[in-house]
Chains A and B, each alone.
Chain A
Amino acid sequence: MRVHLRWVVLVLAGVLLAIGTRPLRAAVDGAALLLQVDRRLNPPTYEAYKRLINVEPNGRSREYLLYQAAEGRDKVAALFLSPASDKGRSTLRVGDNMWLYVPNAGRPVRITSLQSVVGGVFNNADILSLDYSAEYDVASVDESGEHYLLDLKAKTGGVAYDRLKMWVTRKEKLPVRIECLTATSMLIKTLHFKDIKDFGAGVVRPSTIETDSPLHKGYTSSMVFVQMTARTFPAEAFTLTFMPNLESIRR
């Protein structure tokens, strides 16, 4: 009888230990969730038309219209269609490498992700954004709130923001808010994802990304996706040499 009791105690201790180290509900796989977010935001390769709108504190606004092509996780090219002063400019991003081509200057020059080719709150990394999973690792997932809260850490020093805090809806796996932070947790800007729209062919995502920043008080910038379509491109379209000819892939 004493032997049986010892076995019961051991089994109970083991069960308690197992419950203590493993939650009853399986934890969310952060990396898989981030990949889902990326695929909900855009097809793996696509073309899009988007507006960039800078609103000044006095209410005056300026608007840019861009054609954008993206291939894979780390290649994005964009062509300015308006206004006339920027028409024909193109930007290219391959991983952490970025270039700007200005027709007057006649050659592509390297730019950095923290600069902004349009001014306002959006920088080049925001305008030519890659898949989040290409640039960030998931440090943790907080499931306690209404939305999943992902704490993302930059994979390299070349990424624009050291950390992101991303709130993701549980059902649609779409971001609703992203806070961009420095390594010391200083807030650089906040991105708000709004106006979910069906772009066709299964692409249903927020069409508007608004941003504000404590560094640009009174200013807001918006990025409004007008069209987004899955499409493949020749690999040469994402090279520095091709930049002056980017218009030729628009159809």
Chain B
Amino acid sequence: MPVNRILLTIGVFLLLATPAKGQEPTVDIPPVERKPFSVGGYLELRPAIIWQDTEAALLRLRAFTTQAADARTLQLNSRVQLDTGYQRGWLSAHARTVVDPGYASGDWTGDVRLYEAYLSLKPAPSLTVDAGKKTLKWGKGYIWNPAAFLDRQKSPEDPALALEGFTFLSADYIRTFGGPLQVLSVTPVLLPVSRDLNQGFGEPGYVNVAGKVYVLLYDTDIDAMFLTGGSRPARFGFDFSRNLRSNLEVHGEWTHVPDATSLVVGLRYLTQHNTTFIIDYFGNGTGYAPAEMEAYFEQIERGYEAGYGRLNPMRNYAYGRLSQPDALGVLYLTLGASAIVNADDGSYTLLPEVQYKATENLELRWLANIQRGGARTEFGEKQADVRLEVRARYYF
């Protein structure tokens, strides 16, 4: 009987090992009972090579020396972003920590920052109260957001990059309706500034008050926002966004600060071949005229006087971007290119890029930043002529 027993064992094994016809593959569904703690984030490496414009005013300003700067420099940048969360009932807590170790020109640098850390109370689905350090990201523009009254400026190389927040108390109250007005939400914000808190925001010694009202009206997102309180000049504005067709979206922002009005208008268009075009125009009401900018560069030449060093300091800019996902017939390969043109002096920056998602959690990106323009133009006087960067980012 041992032969029969062996055959029986083999038969049972084969029966168990063979999936039933039509049986669906097994899937691991995250537990319905959510764990109170969550951890995630990414690790990235970004080696870069920079060809410097040794004649550029901003290079001499930064080097603060008359000695010739290196024509080419190497950088090894990296980042660890750690997102942690805790949720129990109507209370939750979130923290985002960013570590930026780097190497450039023989020097190692390191920076650890708490980008966000806040408590969130949700006593009802219609009400959320947040307290702590957080970003709000107001505005609809792709890279320029004059309506982002309480946020830092985005990186033109990576507008989706996480930003460091400010510390404030805020709430979201949501109401829904039938008819043309579908949603109304109100977001009041209190943001104190002292020598120890939010020092980068503006003048200390004030409690700033801001607010935003959002409506979804006739299928259009509309926000109206304001900021007052003393640390920064009082301001107000509005933004909108709407899908005109199944492949066309338009958006805009308008803001007013004393004696200056800023405007962003743009659109995003998707072609039949799945290529996305984004075009934004930025009229910077607080920007400098070409003559003022030339005077600034002359000041640098004379005595390295600083003052105009912010991003996009002039008045009229245009932004264009195209991206082609699944390019060259390869899924997860994206080819893209962006350009920012200073319409006042004709200088520009070009940002071609290639992205590939090699595995589900590994992203590779190659990016070039080419800055061109004549003498005493914004991008012509930037310290880097060309910057090439490779980024490998692993999510966990």
Contacts and interface: CB of A to CB of B under 8 A. Distances in A.
A and B physically associate? yes
A107 interface: yes
A185 B125 CA distance: 44
A158 B246 contact: yes
Interface stretch (B283-291, B346-354, B356-364): B356-364
B137 A105 contact: yes
B176 A239 contact: yes
A98 B268 CA distance: 14
A56 B331 contact: yes
A182 B205 CA distance: 61
A120 B333 CA distance: 11
Interface in B238-269: 241-243, 245-249, 251, 268
B216 A94 contact: yes
Interface in B329-384: 331-332, 357, 360-361, 363
A241 interface: yes
Given A110-B241, A239-B216, A84 B24 contact: no
A233 B187 CA distance: 22
A83 B360 contact: yes
A106 B135 contact: yes
Interface stretch (A2-10, A24-32, A111-119, A163-171): A111-119
B174 A242 contact: yes
A103 B270 CA distance: 24
Interface in A94-137: 94-98, 102-107, 109-116, 119-120, 125
Closest 10 pairs between A and B when the two form their complex, measured CB to CB: A107-B137, A234-B125, A83-B360, A85-B395, A235-B176, A84-B395, A241-B185, A105-B160, A236-B125, A106-B137
Contacts of A39: none
B23 to A, nearest CB: 10
6 contacts: A98-B243, A197-B24, A207-B24, A236-B176, A239-B174, A240-B183
B214 interface: yes
B40 interface: yes
A242 B331 contact: no
A194 B361 CA distance: 30
Interface stretch (B26-34, B49-57, B100-108, B305-313): B26-34
A94 to B, nearest CB: 7
Nearest to B214: A241
Given A102-B160, A160-B246, A239-B185, A85 B361 contact: yes
B270 A112 contact: yes
Given A85-B357, A236-B176, A242-B125, A158 B162 contact: no
A113 to B, nearest CB: 5
B326 interface: yes
Interface in A60-104: 62-63, 65, 81-85, 87-88, 94-98, 102-104
Contact of A114 (B174, B214, B247): B247
Contact of B331 (A83, A85, A119, A235): A119
Given A82-B30, A105-B137, A114 B162 contact: no
A233 B185 CA distance: 18
Interface residues of B, number: 61
Contacts, number: 151
Given A62-B360, A236-B126, A96 B243 contact: yes
B83 interface: yes
A237 B126 CA distance: 9
Given A105-B162, A236-B125, A251-B32, 11 more contacts: A83-B395, A84-B40, A96-B243, A97-B221, A105-B159, A115-B247, A195-B22, A208-B24, A235-B176, A236-B174, A242-B174
Interface of B: 22, 24, 27, 29-30, 32, 34, 40, 42, 83, 87, 92, 120, 122, 125-126, 128, 135-138, 140, 159-163, 172, 174, 176, 182-183, 185, 187, 214, 216, 219, 221, 241-243, 245-249, 251, 268, 270, 274, 276, 325-326, 331-332, 357, 360-361, 363, 395-396
A22 to B, nearest CB: 39
Interface string A205-248: 00110000000100100001011000000111111111001011
B135 to A, nearest CB: 5
Interface size class of A (residues with CB under 8 A): 35 or more
A103 B83 contact: yes
A219 B363 contact: no
Contacts of A203: none
Given A97-B219, A237-B125, A65 B183 contact: no
Nearest to A104: B162
A195 B331 CA distance: 27
Interface string A38-53: 0000000000010100
A136 to B, nearest CB: 14
A105 B136 CA distance: 10
Contacts of A208: 24
Contacts of B159: 105
A190 interface: no
A130 to B, nearest CB: 13
A27 to B, nearest CB: 32
Nearest to A62: B360
Contacts of A109: 140, 241
B216 A97 contact: yes
B161 A83 contact: no
B243 A158 contact: yes
A100 to B, nearest CB: 11
Contacts of B216: 94, 97, 239-240
A47 B203 CA distance: 49
Contacts of B274: 116
A94 B83 CA distance: 29
Contacts of A103: 83
